[in-house]
Amino acid sequence: MSVGYRGADNLARPFALAARLTPDHPALLLDGVAVSYASLLDQVRRTGAGVSVLRRDGEPPRVALSLGNRAELPALFLGIVAAGGIVGLFDPKWSTAQITAALDTFRPDLHLTTETAAAWMAAQPAGWSIPAVDPKTPFLVGFTSGTTGRPKAFIRNQGSWLATLEASRVEFGIGQDDVVLVPGPLVHGLGLYGAVEGLSAGATIRVQPKFDAADAARQLVESGVTTLVLVPTMLVGILDAAARDGRRFPALRRVVCSGAKLAPAVHERLAAFCPDAAVLEYYGASELSFVSLRSSLEGAPADSVGRPFHGVELCLRDDDGTPVERGRPGTVWVRSAMLSDGYLGPTDDAGYRERDGWGTVGDYGWIDKDGWLRLAGRAGDMVITGGLNVYPAEVEAALRAHPAVAEAVVFGLSDPYWGDTLSAVIWWRGAGRASLAELRGWCQERLEAYKAPRRVFAAADMPLTGSGKIARGDVRERAKGGGLEVVE
């Protein structure tokens, strides 16, 4: 089944169409329980019925969801959207202070939690019909830390996600015969979108209650999984688990990965585990949606983030807003139908900006002569050392290419002489080791000499955020605190 989304009058409509065409097809498999498309559609309609009566003074009803990876979450999300409501996604792992701050920003009409969601949904009447919704209607408020660590509540409207579904349909091609494994948390953008994208296409979505690398590797072998949607740290964990058990993934067609670049060594390992699978790394942001795609089928340079995603225009500009020529660095500006509506409530003037239909989150990079986009980092991440500007992303990419390095995080540490000393925390690959001199020399062969880190630390464990990305702030604090091994 091929689905087009541009003409849909409600973001939940593509899913509803899939449910009518294949009512008995498994829509969701979680913790051994299968939910058919017909059953999921019934739950969506019940949710929509309950949310529709919350509407006051013509304003879209707001519903906060504080759930982990539970079968109710996709139904609640699609039902709220179907009713023209706005979902506020709250991570149940947040502290009480974080939840209180998010509630104060979002101000929901209804707050559903792990303890209350299933009973509330079951109590709503059946038979409600999905109405048409203005594509400019906001449907999602998500929370992102941005560049400063201060949480921001970004807003997306229904039309922007319908355009996003259309773009990913073209690039990823997920269809009814696919089995999509989404091992990460559904309260974060990558997992949520991966589930909704698959359900909109009529695919079967497999979700774990909590990420388990060994169980994910088993599902990839035993459950006919064709598509894997995850962040790099989870992928590495799955490959490690598969290597221990001697597993391979012959049925896997595509690996969709975002959140950070995959190290060259991970690409090599993937080729051994699933040689026929396309590796689709996309660069994007919550506020921008998709920006670029690096596909293993297209021969993009390893240090690039690929070419513009379907439906996306890119323009690199200098600090005055003037477009720069190819090969020259600048701020990445994006124009597409997928951009957000900005932020809810007051912000700190950092993060997303829009000008004349173009949006940016402040990422810095350049486009080479062949049209491939390369990222240097984000303006707020820049390190000034000895009066020279260094963007961590390009140094991290150079370190990851070293045969002894599995992962790297680069930052500045305050120094009375240099201003900031360019520093790195690395995680070794297996039994591999290298000296500081070797790592500096490796970087100097690939970058300007001043971009080689002067201080390098080695870490044994990797602190992660709730979405599975490296907790960069925690890594930096560990280095400052002296609790890491110094690479001499």
- In this predicted model, what pLDDT tens digit does every residue of 120-153 receive, in sequence order? 999 999 999 999 999 999 999 998 754 444 568 9
Report if residue 2 sits inside a domain. no
DSSP label at residue 16: H
The answer on 160 and 109 residing in a single domain is: yes
Give the whole-angstrom CA distance, residue 165 versus residue 173. Answer: 10
Q: Which residue among 333, 367, 401 closes a domain?
A: 367
**Domain membership of residue 447 as a residue range:** 382-486
Listed residue (188, 250, 201, 190) closest to 221, CA to CA: 250
Number of domains in the chain: 2
Give the whole-angstrom CA distance, residue 207 versus residue 191. Answer: 9
Between CA 382 and CA 388, with CA 385 as vertex, the angle to 5 degrees is: 80
**Number of C-beta neighbours around residue 129 at 10 A:** 9
> What are 90-105's pLDDT values in tens digits?
988 888 888 888 999 9
**Both tokens assigned to 28:** 């969701």
The answer on 397 and 336 residing in a single domain is: no
20: which residues sit within 8 A by CB, 6+ positions away? 41
The answer on 327 and 243 residing in a single domain is: yes
**Which CATH number fits the domain that encloses residue 352?**
3.40.50.12780
In 210-365, alpha helices (H): 213-222, 232-245, 264-273
Give the whole-angstrom CA distance, residue 316 versus residue 364. Answer: 8
Phi-psi region of 452 (alpha: psi -120 to 50; beta: other; left: phi over 0): beta
Residue in this structure with the two tokens 């990797």, named with its chain if needed: 462
Contact (CB, 8 A) for 162 and 134: no
pLDDT in tens, the chain (488 residues): 445 676 789 999 999 999 999 999 999 999 889 999 999 999 999 999 999 999 877 889 999 999 989 999 999 999 999 999 999 999 888 888 888 889 999 999 999 999 999 999 999 999 999 999 999 999 999 987 544 445 689 999 999 999 999 999 999 999 999 999 999 999 988 999 999 999 999 999 999 999 999 999 999 999 999 999 999 889 999 999 999 989 999 899 999 999 888 888 889 999 999 999 999 999 999 999 999 999 999 999 988 999 999 999 999 999 889 999 999 989 999 999 999 999 987 666 668 999 999 999 999 899 999 999 998 877 667 788 887 778 888 899 899 999 999 999 999 998 877 878 999 999 999 888 999 999 999 999 988 888 999 999 999 998 888 778 888 888 988 988 888 898 98
**Number of C-beta neighbours around residue 151 at 10 A:** 15
Task: Please tell me whether residue 399 adopts helix, strand or coil conformation.
Answer: helix
> What are 18-67's pLDDT values in tens digits?
999 999 999 999 988 999 999 999 999 999 999 999 987 788 999 999 99
